Amino acid sequence: MKEFDLIKQFFTNQTVKHKEVKLGIGDDCAVIAPIEKQNIVITTDTLVAGVHFPLNTSPRAIGHKAVAVNLSDIAAMGATPSWISLALTVPSVDEGWLSEFGAGVFELCEFYNVQLIGGDTTQGPLSITITAHGLTPKDSYLTRSGASAGDWLYVTGELGDAALALQHIKGEVELEDSLFSTIRTKLDFPKPRVLAGQVIREYASSAIDISDGLSVDLGHICQASNVGANIVLDALPLSAVLRESLLAEDAVKLALSGGDDYELLFTVSEDNKVGLETALSHAGTPVTCIGQINASQTISTTLNNKAISVNMAGFEHFS
C-alpha cells in the first residue's frame, strides 16, 4: 500500500466537519478561515513507542491516547478543541493495526467534535505526533503564569492510578487482575478534562494539565508565576484501588510524581473559590482543594498539619 492510498483508506472518512476548515486532507496544506473575536490555541505532542506507552499497548489505545494528551493541553488553556493534524510513523503497513489505531483517533475526535485536517505518514520506528488547535473567546484563556500568593490549589479527578497500572505492567508491583483492569483504562484511555477547562477559565488564575506528575507540573506553575506552594498530602485524591494496593506513603509518592494522569491542576483566588466549586459541581466534575500558593518560591508538603519532606521527582524527558 502506498502512502496516499493509506491516507485515503484510513484517515479521510470522518464524520466531523468544521465550517472554518476550507480545505482539509489531500493537499499540501490545510486551509482554515480565521475566526472573528476568538483566539486560536495550538499545541503539539509526540508519543514514542516504549517511552510514552508500553510496546504491547493496543493500537486503539495508542490512537486514543495520542489525541487525548493533546486535547488535555487544550483543556488546560480553557479552550474548545477544534482541529488536529497527525504525523504517523509506522514500521510497516499493517492494515489491521491502522484500522484499530484510526478507530481510537476518531472515537475521541467525534466525542469532542474535532476534525482531522491533515498530517504526514512515514516509515520507521513507531511514533505519533499530533498538533491540536482550539478556540477561546478573544483574550480569554488560561496560562501557567497567573497564580498569586493566597490562591488555592485544586486538582480534578484522582491521581496515581495510571502510574500504578504502568508499574504493574513493568512488574514493579503485582495487582490482582480485577484491580488492574479497573485502572488500566486510566493509562490507556485517559479522558481529557475539556469541559472542566472551559468552566474554570472563568474562575482560575492559572492552570496546567498533569502529564509528568503533580509535583513537576506544579513546579511549572510556580516558576512561571514566581510563587511557591504547599501541598496538603492528606487532601490528595487517591482512588480506592491505589489505597488498597500500596502502603500509604507509597500511594502518596505515586500521586505526587507518577504522571500520566491528564487531570487539570489550577489555582483560584479566595473570591472565586465558591463560584468555581459550584460551577464544577454543576458540570459533574470531581475536584479537590489540595493546598495553597505562597510567596516562598519553593514547594513544600504537610501531613496532619505538620511539615514533611517527600521525594517529588516526576517524569523528565531528558535526564
Q: Is 27 annotated as a binding residue?
A: no
243 is in an annotated binding site: no
Q: ∠ CA(198), CA(202), CA(207), 5° rounding?
A: 70
CB 122 within 8 A of CB 37: no
Residue type (1 letter), 55: L
Q: Determine if residue 120 is labeled as part of a ligand binding site.
A: yes
The answer to whether 46 is a known ligand-binding residue is no
Identify the helix (H) or strand (E) that includes residue 142. Answer: none
How far is the C-alpha of 7 from the C-alpha of 118, rounded, in Å?
9
Annotation-wise, does 219 bind a ligand?
no
Tell whether residue 278 is among the known ligand binding residues.
Answer: no
Is 15 marked as binding a ligand? no
| Size of the chain in residues | 319
Is residue 30 within 8 A of residue 71, CB to CB? The reply is no
- Is 201 annotated among the ligand-binding residues? no
Residues 259 and 315 sit within 8 Å (Cβ to Cβ): yes
Q: Which residue is it, cell 513493568?
A: 170
250 assigned ligand-binding residue = no
139 is in an annotated binding site: no
> C-alpha cell of 23?
480545505
209 in a labelled binding site: yes
CB 292 within 8 A of CB 153: yes
Radius of gyration over alpha carbons of the chain, in Å?
20
Any known ligand binding at 261?
A: no
**Binding residue positions for Mg(2+):** 28, 43-45, 73, 120, 209, 212
**Binding residue positions:** 28, 43-45, 52, 73, 119-120, 144, 209, 211-212, 260, 315
**Binding residue positions for substrate:** 52, 260, 315
**Binding residue positions for ATP:** 119-120, 144, 211
